[in-house]
Structure 1
Amino acid sequence: MERRRYGFVVVANRLPLDRITDERGEQHWARSPGGLVSALEPIARSAGGAWVGWTGGPDDDTEPFEADGVYLRTVPLSGEEVDRYYEGQSNSTIWPLFHDAVEQPAHRREWRIAYETVNRRFAEATAEVADDGATVWVHDYQLLLLPKLLRDLRPDLRIGFFLHIPFPPVELFIQLPRRAELLRGLLGADLVGFQQPLAAQNFLRLTAQLLDLRPHGEQVEYQGRTVTARAFPISIDVSEIDRLAADPEVQAEASRLRRELGGDRRLLLGVDRLDYTKGIDQRIEAYGELLADGTVSNDEAVLVQVATPSRQRVAQYQQLRERVEREVGRINGEFGDVGRVPVQYLFQSRSREELVALYLAADVMLVTPLRDGMNLVAKEYVAARRDEGGALVLSEFTGAADELHGAFLVNPYDVEELKRGVSAALRADPEELTDRMRRMREQVWEHDVDHWAQEFLRALGRHPLSATP
């Protein structure tokens, strides 16, 4: 394809498409699920823009191509780089440390070198496709060095960066080797966006402590430029969830799930990636204690836990799976009956339609991470409840807790408090639950993913729809 340059460029670890193998063994591209793609792919398309990212496979030499009006600039990774940059520095060092070190981060020099190498390759690919004075929006923890690397190559660009996960407090961030370089990487952006105001404040404090800068308000001067750090809480494509919730086939599937999973019992639901930050093992432990002390009985309720496979090559994730499955087996063996178990555990991915059907079937949604930048599952559950029914038990350590004021907030580290939250949701008066859900739905509808994207781009000072390819 002829090389072209674009006025609006999205940069993310992954492309907005996944390579799918169908039942005939043929490969094709399909749009990736998730809020980021839902928010940005339409904007990139309407702007005639480009998206820079990895295909998701090692040693993939796919050439850049165009799909649905968006130019996709592929960035290849070797198998070794996948191990060191992605599974190593990104997911075994930065991810746990940015999630309050729920698991101990690992630090290896070869991971850091690979991380810088891949970030530089992303920067070079972006510089190649960005037009003069283009707007570039960089996303997430895999690319913390990229804004500065790109600024060095293309000082004419307007660069925004958004971090989708939490940003740690000063005392945790300073544990990172080469910490000042990561901070300088982010300062290459004109606007650095976070999920919560405290995260932006942590970032600005670090610029003072590590780089002797003098932040004022939301801004800090760096190398003759003004860098702004601000919270932009991300959201979901509410209209898509609402459309699925209104689909007769999805509603029929919800009814089937209620019959098969719950029957005459109340249905409690957890939907998470199998990740140690999600508090799945604490949640199952609390439910086991509710059964043990007689607060809940197997005849009254059932917990359905969907655990989507994640990072299965990383040892910490393998150990988590073993712990969770062992505890599920213990609880079902102790409190279950033939053909009627208290915990239905599903280690599998589910389609968007299947997830919305589960949301509709659930009487209580349990979203209890130990730490989460936002947690979009909570917002999806609220958006799906067109009937204004259901209850949400929500960890206070999520960004969503700042917005969904109708939820039953809990400290997931406190098993007794977690049990009280679940019990309160099960015993609440229906009118109270309707009032809580109505307030949460108003919040989610007024602050959808398009609102998030437009707010960020306005703060960046550029509107992508005015960009010219």
Structure 2
Amino acid sequence: MEFDPMSRLIVISNRVSAPKGQSGAQGGLAVAFQAALREYRGIWFGWSGEPTDEFTGQINFQRSEGVTTATVDLEAQDIDEYYNGYANRTLWPLFHYRIDLAEFERGFEDGYQRVNERFADTVRPLIEQDDVVWVQDYHMIPLGHELRKRGCNNRMGFFLHIPWPPRRLLSSLPHAAELVTTLLAYDVIGFHTDEWLEAFRDYVTLDLGATMSEDGTIHLGDRSVKAIACPIGIDTKEFVEAATSTSARLTYRRMRDSADGRDLIVGVDRLDYSKGLEERFLGYERFLVDHPEQRKEVFLLQIAPPSRGEVGSYQRIRATLDALSGRINGAYADIDWVPIRYVNQGFPRHVLAGIYRAARIGLVTPLRDGMNLVAKEYVAAQDPEDPGVLILSRFAGAAEQMKDAVLVNPYSAEEMSDAIVQALAMPKDERIRRWRALMDGIEEKDVLWWRRRFTQELMGDDDSLAVAEQDKGA
């Protein structure tokens, strides 16, 4: 289908983020979608986040700042089996290489399929003939297939925001072949990195018997699908502005005052076992043990807002970190110094920007991550004249783009300790050189570039990247 400038864009995701105005804090992904929806007169459809006694398919429409959202409520059983169950207790751990935590229950799989069918039934009447559909993430892998079954012949794309596991690991999932085959209902499939893209190609060619053209198009039966690597970025310009805003400057001064001359090391992560927080604490403890002369010269601020508290593995990681931070502080703290400030709450983006700017080191050490935008936000928030140092896990998707960070193996406490020493001792000229190279990358491939890159493939719009460059320069 050739791109029709009158086509609408229908974005479908598990959750929907309505515009919050100038004062509201929103993630870069929401900002990117809202800009696309305004440009293409589209609709953003998904779960409201609210429960209902009985699923009726009733849609709640809202329009704000030129963006139309359409949400539905889900039954408690749907939430338990589809969201807490198959999405977050089966697919999430498996796709993050934690097969030891994955729970394979038929009820979860049935609920996941049922909710995707309900979403397809509900959203199908909203999709007009010339619309283009863009489905987001692991919650909705089979949605495109279900829409095809309901007569939807529109161009459809799917983007995976988490890693894609190696084929042998994926083969442990019951009915993996059937699930992956449903992905081929889409016309374009996007991944953050070449590693995840290659893992997907390995599975579909070796396990499903698909063939691949020189341009990367995958063929199976009557389906031809383009799979691409398309790394997401942040709204770099907006985050730089946030880091120099009045509220960010106040936060910066507050952090500097509380540091009392010490160097701040910061980590900001959702409370999740994939983020490597236990290993991070142990690496930082190794630094304290190996370098006692540095103990009262630094402190670690770890911000870790809780998530998915209904899932047992998340309850366990929280208990582990509570105990570990308490043990480290008990062992090494002094009357005027605490080595770890561990905070279980989230903060607005402008506050985080001020904290990042005050931090000498950004410690971003996930065990496995689809991308990790905290790494990019930390870089964007730095003072160009005196930037901090990013320490980044080799296993974050961002490491493929951010090679001028200090890259570490997050499983190695020694390597993490050495990286902290290297970052603290790094001369200013080297810090500036590394920061400039990192900043060039996140400015060039920001969230607008990502959105335009994907929609170019999906809509066949040859001008989309050029428009993205114009938008960036405006």
What range describes the TM-score normalised by the shorter chain of this pair? Answer: over 0.9
Q: Could you say which residue in structure 2 is the equivalent of 1:10?
A: 11
Q: 2:408 aligns with which of 380, 402, 410?
A: 410
Deviations 1:67-120 (A, max 9, x none): 322222213211111111001100000000000116520010011011001111
Q: 1:37 to 1:103 in 2, by over 3 A?
A: farther
Q: How is 1:146-157 mapped onto 2 (pairs within 5 angstroms)? A: 146-157=143-154
Partner of 1:23: none
**Structure 2 counterpart of 1:451:** 449
Q: Which residue of 2 aligns with 1:36?
A: 29
Residue in 1 that maps onto 2:117: 120
Note if 1:56 corresponds to 2:49.
yes
- Alpha-carbon distance in structure 1 between the residues aligned to 2:223 and 2:193: 24
Distance (Å, rounded) in 2 between the aligned partners of 1:449 and 1:149: 29
Checking the alignment, whether the CA contact within 8 Å between 2:59 and 2:70 is kept in structure 1 is no
- Bigger drift between 364-373 and 215-224 goes to 215-224
Cα separation, 1, equivalents of 2:314 and 2:462:
39
Q: What does 1:101-250 align with in structure 2 at a 5 Å threshold? A: 101=98, 103-217=100-214, 218-250=216-248
CA distance in 2, matches of 1:464, 1:90: 35
TM-score normalised by length of structure 1: 0.92
Give how far 1:32 is off: 7.1
Which moved further from structure 2: 104-113 or 378-387?
A: 378-387
Is the 2:283–2:413 Cα contact (8 Å) retained in structure 1? yes
Q: Which runs of 5+ in 1 are unaligned?
A: 21-27
Residue 215 of structure 1, CA deviation? 2.2
- SS state at 1:76 partner: strand
Within 5 Å, give how 1:380-391 maps onto structure 2.
380-388=377-385, 389-391=387-389
1:304 alignment partner, one of 296, 301, 304: 301
For 1:265, the aligned partner's letter is R
In the other structure, the counterpart of 1:461 is 459
Indicate yes or no: 2:40 matched with 1:47: yes
Indicate conservation of the 8 Å contact 1:8/1:130, yes or no: no
1:259 correspondence with 2:257:
yes
- Per the TM alignment, residue 322 of structure 1 is displaced from its structure 2 partner at its CA by 1.0
Measure, in 2, the Cα distance between the counterparts of 1:31 and 1:463.
32
Q: Which residue of 2 aligns with 1:313?
A: 310
Q: Distance in 2 between matches of 1:125 and 1:449?
A: 29
Kindly report which structure 2 residues correspond to 1:274-293, keeping only aligned pairs within 5 A, or say none.
Answer: 274-293=271-290
Q: Is the 8 A contact 2:287 2:418 kept in 1?
A: no
The one-letter code of the counterpart of 2:10 is V
What CA deviation, in whole Å up to 9, does each residue of 1:249-293 have, x standing for no partner? 311211111211x21111100000010000111111111121122
Counterpart AA for 2:312: A
- Aligned pairs for 1:337-356 within 5 A: 337-356=334-353
Report how far residue 417 of structure 1 moved: 1.1
The alignment yields a C-alpha RMSD, in angstroms, of 2.1
8 Å contact from structure 1 (residues 102, 277) kept in 2: no
Distance in 2 separating the partners of 1:31 and 1:51? 19
Counterpart position of 1:400: 398
**2:222, 2:327 → 1: CA distance?**
61
Instruction: Give yes or no for contact 1:103–1:276 (8 Å, CA) kept in 2.
Output: no
For 1:227 and 1:219, locate their aligned partners in 2 and report how far apart those are by CA, in whole Å. 6
How has the CA–CA distance of structure 1 residues 413 and 9 changed in structure 2, closer, same or farther, with 3 Å as cutoff?
same
Please state how far the C-alpha of 1:420 moved relative to its aligned partner.
1.2
Distance in 1 (alpha carbons) for counterparts of 2:293 and 2:125: 60
Match of 2:471 in 1: none
The question of whether the paired residues in 2 share the 8 Å contact of 1:15 and 1:74 is answered with: yes
The DSSP-based 3-state class of the residue aligned with 2:156 is strand
Q: TM-score of the superposition, structure 2-length normalised?
A: 0.91
Q: Count the aligned residue pairs.
A: 452
Paired with 1:102 and 1:419, the residues of 2 have a C-alpha distance of: 28
d(CA) in 1 for partners of 2:25, 2:157? 22
Stretches of structure 2 that go unaligned for 5 or more consecutive residues are: 1-5, 465-474
Q: Is the 8 A contact 2:332 2:339 kept in 1?
A: yes
What SS is found at the alignment partner of 1:56? strand
The letter for the 2-side match of 1:56 is G
Q: Distance in 2 between matches of 1:265 and 1:43?
A: 43
Indicate the residue corresponding to 2:75 in structure 1: 78
Match of 2:467 in 1: none
Residues 1:105 and 1:37: Cα distance change in structure 2 (over 3 Å): same
Change (3 A) 1:275 1:315: same
The equivalent of 1:25 in structure 2 is none
Q: How far is 1:47 from its partner?
A: 1.5
Q: Decide which moves more: 285-294 or 391-400.
A: 285-294
Partner-residue secondary structure (3-state), 2:291: coil
Deviation, 1:155, is: 3.9
Native 8 Å contact 1:47 1:464 kept in 2: no
CA distance 1:459–1:176, change in 2 (3 Å)? same
**DSSP 3-state at the match of 1:17:** coil
**Residue 361 (structure 2) pairs with residue 364 (structure 1):** yes
CA 398–267 in structure 1, closer or farther in 2 if over 3 Å, else same = same
Structure 1 residues 257, 452: closer, same or farther in 2, change over 3 A? same
Secondary structure at the residue paired with 1:107?
Answer: coil
1:357-407 Cα distance to aligned partner (Å, 9 max, x none):
110110000000000010000000111114251000000001111111220
The sequence identity of aligned pairs, in percent, is: 38
Cα distance, 1:62 vs structure 2: 6.2
Q: What is the alpha-carbon distance in structure 2 between the residues aligned to residue 395 and residue 294 of structure 1? A: 22
Q: Assess if the C-alpha contact under 8 Å between 1:332 and 1:343 holds in 2.
A: yes
Confirm or deny: 8 A CA contact 1:52 1:125 kept in the other structure. no
